[in-house]
């Protein structure tokens, strides 16, 4: 693969990576949110694979395959199970409506470019110039987790944050060391499992309500 | 170093994680009473390892594979082991009323929780430190949601979501540090070793480290219960079973704060102390303000203890912010003293809950007349938490205040201790009501179970240790000095 083609593919993956995050803010149907998250996982895998190929690093290729399996297969599968257990989880009344969310997304992306300057300035590789995309996805994840009312939307917010950080790690540094990546991935998979179980318990104890209804504990 | 001593320290590096992990496997197989004893032994093993590692602080670090221990690690291991010993001893009394499956789940998860905390303080690598701290959230999620009531499921949900998000911020910070380290010539796994980062601090990019410091403080600050990211803490601590609250409040908060201490040694070398100090001062004073305000009208005694934890974490952050060696030493002593006392207080609160069946302060009037031994234990632990002599919290609070004045931060000390005074008055008022207030109407349950003497003895030992630390540090003084030197970066 020529360097030019590889760079173009990388740009394409980064673009789609950001676009899927914005799409998550735009859509309300849970099944389409999960599809978007799967696509985002694939794009992250693409980024990891392209960078591994550029650096000709076998270990990095292994990490990329593992990331792909986790983020594009296992986690979406777990989310679909949550969705089956808790049907009718459509986001009915987010705190911020869709058009305002999209405006916020544009603002957050600009903010990400400002915040990522020290990272871009420092890293030697051309791929580092795409790191703001990762930061933008992190910020969009925060926004989603803060403004949505359904349990599953909050899980997706947490996953967006995680995908964003993973993208920053790949683009700015070529990926964190293997053992750290293993630990982080295991933690993530277990955290989603815990959230899946808690979601069904929430559904059992509170019924199909918004998280706004969680008012047992307060001061 | 003699060969036998070397073997002992190598063993002491692996034991703190291996022993509780084994105990969790035992809990899977053996009956629960045997598993509970294995748990107590595992906690003692952590304490013993901490003491072994502390025994000789001269060759400053011991390393094996991905693990490394210095005086600071040894100090934290002693704190973890001591608090875990109290919490594990209190567990059987708490589990008496549970079903077999629940007991098993509790014992397995509690020991895994200890494993993760030990790994966090032993990790040589900031990435693995993060992994271990995040793992504590995962294993404690079902301990917080143990009772499956509406309130505890809600608490577990808020705990997992808020802590996962918070700790994710810390990971972004870790990635930034990694990027800075790579750019400075580090590579692979060693680029995130704190020893390597400390050694190469002068080559790290200040702009990137500034970004990383903010993210790391916010992230680990969430887990350490520092305002403004503290809101999960009172919910989780009030809903978890009492011994788990003891572990979470007594050491989990401090383990998260340990991560901040490790980063502080690096960022101070890169950016100078002012930047971290400012951030820590803001967090400390905000935590104290939050705790003082919400303690005043508190109606639930476990939440009362939870807010008191926020107050004490604020004090520890304050001491760390001052940055001089004596203040750091005081903050570290405060970690141990607070851990011991808060563990006793939470376990006693668990007994009170079993006796009275209510978490409300209003329903626990006149405890001294009904359960004198229990009331005395709870009362003395609160006296210690209020920072009165002879307990070690008195000594450490005084030292933090003096260090603050000496370092020219008198205004911060003044604000902080005004807030502490408010908290003092609030806790004292609630405590008086609980312990001494008018005796309640005849109880509908005349034969409410009173705690066994053995259960209270271990709590009394914990309080005695906290008092002894306040009077005489003994051999721990050298360790405390060495640990404080590591954080403060040499005598200044």
**ω into B228 cis (within 30 of 0):** yes
Cβ pair B288, B335 in contact under 8 A: no
Whether residues B155 and A217 touch (CB distance < 8 A) is answered with: yes
Instruction: Give B161's contacts in chain A (Cβ within 8 Å).
Output: 145, 154, 158, 195
> CA-based angle B158:B162:B165, to the nearest 5?
145
Over the stretch A43-61, which tens digit does the pLDDT of each residue have?
999 999 999 988 888 888 8
In B, minimum Cα distance to A123 occurs at B183
Q: How far apart are CA B91 and CA B40, in angstroms?
A: 9
Contact A216 B150 (CB under 8 A): yes
Q: What is the pLDDT of residue B450?
A: 65
ipTM over 0.95? The verdict is: no
The residue ranges of DSSP E strands in B90-188, in sequence order, are none
Mutate to test the interface with A, among B105, B130, B150, B290 (most CBs of A within 10 A): B150
- pLDDT, tens only, B124-176: 899 999 999 999 999 999 999 888 888 888 899 999 999 999 999 999 999 99
Chain centroid, CA B396 distance in Å: 16
> Cα(B277)–Cα(B264) distance, rounded to whole angstroms?
9
Say if residue A92's pLDDT is above 70: no
Q: Do B160 and A123 touch (CB under 8 A)?
A: no
pLDDT category at B441 given cuts 50, 70, 90 is low
Chain B nearest-CA residue for A169: B175
Residues B205, B180 contacting (CB under 8 angstroms): yes
H-state helical runs in chain A: 3-26, 30-55, 58-69, 75-85, 98-115, 117-122, 131-147, 151-173, 178-206
Q: Which two tokens stand for residue B245?
A: 């609250």
Nearest-angstrom CA–CA distance, B297 and A160 = 38
Asked if A187's CB is within 8 angstroms of B160's CB, the reply is no
Contact A162 B208 (CB under 8 A): no
Angle of helix B126-144 relative to helix A178-206, nearest 10 degrees? 20
Identify which of B286, B278, B333, B321 has the alpha carbon closest to the alpha carbon of residue B407: B321
Q: Are strands B62-64 and B67-69 parallel, antiparallel or unpaired?
A: antiparallel
The shortest CB-CB distance from B153 to any of A117, A174, A198 is to A198
pLDDT tens-digit profile of B319-372?
999 999 999 999 999 999 999 999 999 999 999 988 888 888 888 888 888 888
Q: Please give the pLDDT value at position B492.
A: 38
Global pTM? Answer: 0.94
Q: What are the chain A neighbours of B140 within 8 Å (beta carbons)?
A: none
pLDDT of residue B491: 43
Interface check for B208 against chain A (CB to CB < 8 A): the answer is yes
For residue B205, give both structure tokens: 């990019």
Cβ distance of A194 and B142 shorter than 8 Å: yes
Q: Is residue B63 classed as helix, strand or coil in its secondary structure?
A: strand
Q: Are A43 and A165 in contact (CB under 8 A)?
A: no
- Among B109, B131, B136, B231, most A C-beta atoms within 10 A, so best to mutate, is B131
Residue B183: which pLDDT band, with cuts at 50, 70 and 90? confident
Tell me, rounded to whole angstroms, the distance of Cα A166 from its chain centroid. 9
pLDDT digits (tens, 9 = 90+) for B222-274: 999 998 888 899 999 999 999 999 999 999 999 999 999 999 999 999 998 89
Report d(CA A154, CA B259) in Å as an integer.
Answer: 27
pLDDT digits (tens, 9 = 90+) for B471-486: 888 888 889 999 999 8
Of A119, A154, A187, the CB nearest to B176: A119
Q: How far apart are CA A69 and CA B227, in angstroms?
A: 37
Q: Is B205 on the interface with A (CB under 8 A)?
A: yes
Judging contacts by C-beta atoms under 8 Å, the chain B residues touching residue A217 are: 151, 154-155, 158, 234-235, 238-239
Q: Is the Cβ pair B210, A190 closer than 8 Å?
A: no
* B156 vs A117, A177, A198: nearest CB: A198
Average pLDDT, chain B: 89
Q: Is A158 in Cβ contact with B165 (below 8 Å)?
A: yes
Q: Fill in the DSSP letter of residue B30.
A: S
A1 min Cα distance to partner chain B (Å): 26
Residue of A nearest to B238 (CA): A217
Answer yes or no: do A219 and B294 touch at CB < 8 A.
Answer: yes
Judge: B127–A183 Cβ closer than 8 Å, yes or no.
yes
Touching check for B135 and chain A: CB below 8 Å? Answer: yes
Lowest mean pLDDT among B34-38, B453-457, B460-464: B453-457
Of B171, B179, B235, the CB nearest to A123: B179
What pLDDT, in 10s, does the model give residues B93-120?
A: 888 888 888 899 999 999 999 999 999 9
- What confidence tens digit (pLDDT) does each residue in B53-92 have? 888 655 556 776 788 888 999 999 999 999 999 999 999 8
**Mean pLDDT taken over chain A:** 87
Q: Is the pLDDT of residue A207 over 80?
A: no
Cross-chain CB nearest to B154 (options A154, A191, A217): A217
- Eight-state DSSP code of residue A89: -
Would you call B297 and A219 a contact, using CB atoms and an 8 Å cutoff? yes
> Cα distance from B440 to chain A (closest Cα, Å)?
25
Chain A partners of B298 at a C-beta cutoff of 8 Å? 219
Closest residue of B to A154, CA-based?
B161
CA A219 to each of CA B234, B294, B491: distance values in angstroms, whole numbers, following the listed order: 9, 7, 44
CB-based contact B175 A169, cutoff 8 Å: yes
Crossing angle of helices B372-385 and B410-435, rounded to 10° = 170
- CA atoms of B393 and B174, how far apart (whole Å): 33
Scan residues 55-74 of B and list those with Cβ closer than 8 Å to A.
Answer: 66
B137 part of contact set with chain A, CB < 8 Å? yes
Which tens digit of pLDDT belongs to each residue from B279-296? 999 999 999 999 999 999
Q: Please name the helix (run of DSSP H) or strand (run of DSSP E) that holds residue A130, with its range, or none.
A: none
Q: What is the pLDDT of residues A12-38, one digit of tens each?
A: 999 999 999 999 988 888 889 999 999
Report the pLDDT value the prediction gives residue A28, as an integer from 0 to 100. Answer: 82
Which residues of chain B are within 8 Å of residue A117 when distances are taken between CB atoms?
207
Interface contact B175-A191, CB threshold 8 A: no
């Amino acid at each position: 693969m020529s360097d030019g083609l590889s760079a173009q593919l990388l740009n394409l993956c980064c673009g789609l990576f950001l676009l899927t995050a914005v799409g998550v803010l735009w859509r309300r149907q849970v099944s389409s949110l999960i599809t978007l998250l799967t696509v985002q996982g694939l794009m992250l895998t693409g980024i990891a694979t392209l960078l591994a190929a550029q650096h000709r690093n076998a270990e990095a290729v292994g990490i990329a395959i593992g990331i792909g399996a986790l983020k594009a297969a296992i986690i979406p599968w777990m989310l679909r199970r949550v969705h089956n257990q808790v049907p009718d989880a459509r986001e009915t009344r987010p705190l911020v409506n869709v058009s305002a969310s999209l405006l916020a997304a544009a603002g957050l992306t600009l903010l990400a470019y400002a915040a990522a300057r020290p990272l871009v300035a420092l890293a030697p590789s051309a791929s580092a110039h795409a790191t703001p995309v990762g930061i933008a996805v992190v910020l969009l994840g925060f926004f989603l987790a803060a403004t949505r009312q359904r349990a599953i939307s909050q899980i997706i917010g947490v996953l967006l944050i995680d995908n964003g950080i993973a993208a920053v790690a790949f683009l700015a540094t070529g990926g964190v060391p293997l053992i750290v990546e293993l630990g982080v991935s295991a933690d993530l998979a277990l955290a989603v499992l815990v959230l899946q179980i808690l979601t069904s318990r929430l559904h059992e104890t509170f019924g199909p309500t918004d998280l706004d209804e969680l008012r047992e504990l307060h001061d | 170093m003699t060969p036998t001593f070397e073997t002992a320290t190598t063993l002491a590096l692996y034991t703190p994680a291996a022993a509780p992990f084994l105990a969790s496997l035992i809990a899977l197989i053996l009956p629960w009473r045997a598993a509970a004893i294995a748990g107590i032994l595992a906690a003692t093993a952590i304490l013993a390892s901490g003491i072994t590692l502390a025994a000789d602080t001269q060759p400053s670090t011991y390393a094996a594979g991905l693990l490394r221990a210095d005086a600071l690690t040894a100090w934290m291991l002693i704190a973890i082991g001591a608090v875990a010993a109290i919490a594990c001893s209190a567990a059987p009394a708490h589990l008496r009323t549970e079903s077999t499956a629940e007991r098993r789940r509790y014992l397995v998860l509690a020991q895994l929780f200890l494993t993760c905390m030990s790994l966090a303080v032993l990790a040589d690598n900031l990435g693995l430190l993060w992994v271990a701290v995040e793992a504590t959230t995962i294993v404690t999620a079902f301990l917080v949601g143990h009772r499956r009531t509406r309130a505890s499921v809600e608490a577990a949900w808020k705990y997992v979501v808020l802590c996962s998000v918070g700790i994710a911020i810390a990971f972004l910070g870790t990635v930034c540090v990694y990027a800075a380290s790579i750019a400075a010539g580090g590579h692979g796994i060693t680029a995130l070793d704190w020893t390597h980062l400390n050694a190469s601090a002068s080559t790290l990019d200040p702009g990137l480290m500034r970004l990383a410091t903010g993210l790391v403080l916010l992230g680990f600050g969430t887990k350490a219960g520092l305002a403004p990211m503290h809101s999960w803490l009172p919910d989780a601590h009030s809903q978890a079973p009492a011994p788990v609250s003891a572990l979470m409040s007594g050491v989990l908060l401090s383990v998260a704060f340990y991560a901040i201490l490790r980063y502080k040694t690096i960022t101070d070398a890169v950016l100078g102390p002012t930047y971290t100090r400012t951030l820590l001062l803001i967090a400390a004073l905000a935590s104290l303000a939050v705790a003082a305000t919400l303690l005043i009208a508190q109606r639930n005694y476990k939440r009362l203890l939870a807010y008191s934890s926020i107050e004490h974490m604020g004090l520890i952050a304050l001491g760390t912010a001052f940055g001089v060696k004596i203040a750091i030493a005081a903050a570290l002593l405060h970690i141990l003293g607070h851990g011991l006392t808060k563990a006793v207080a939470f376990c006693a609160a668990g007994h009170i809950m079993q006796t009275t069946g209510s978490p409300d302060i209003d329903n626990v009037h006149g405890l001294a007349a009904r359960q004198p031994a229990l009331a005395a234990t709870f009362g003395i632990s609160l006296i210690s938490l209020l920072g009165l002599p002879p307990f070690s919290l008195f000594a450490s609070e005084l030292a933090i205040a003096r260090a603050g004045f000496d370092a020219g931060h008198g205004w911060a000390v003044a604000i902080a201790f005004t807030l502490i005074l408010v908290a003092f008055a609030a806790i004292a008022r609630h405590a008086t009501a609980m312990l001494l207030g008018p005796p309640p109407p005849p109880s509908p349950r005349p034969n409410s179970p009173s705690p066994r003497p053995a259960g209270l003895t271990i709590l009394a030992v914990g309080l005695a240790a906290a008092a002894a630390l306040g009077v005489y540090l003994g051999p721990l003084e050298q360790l405390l000095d060495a640990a404080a030197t590591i954080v403060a970066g040499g005598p200044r």
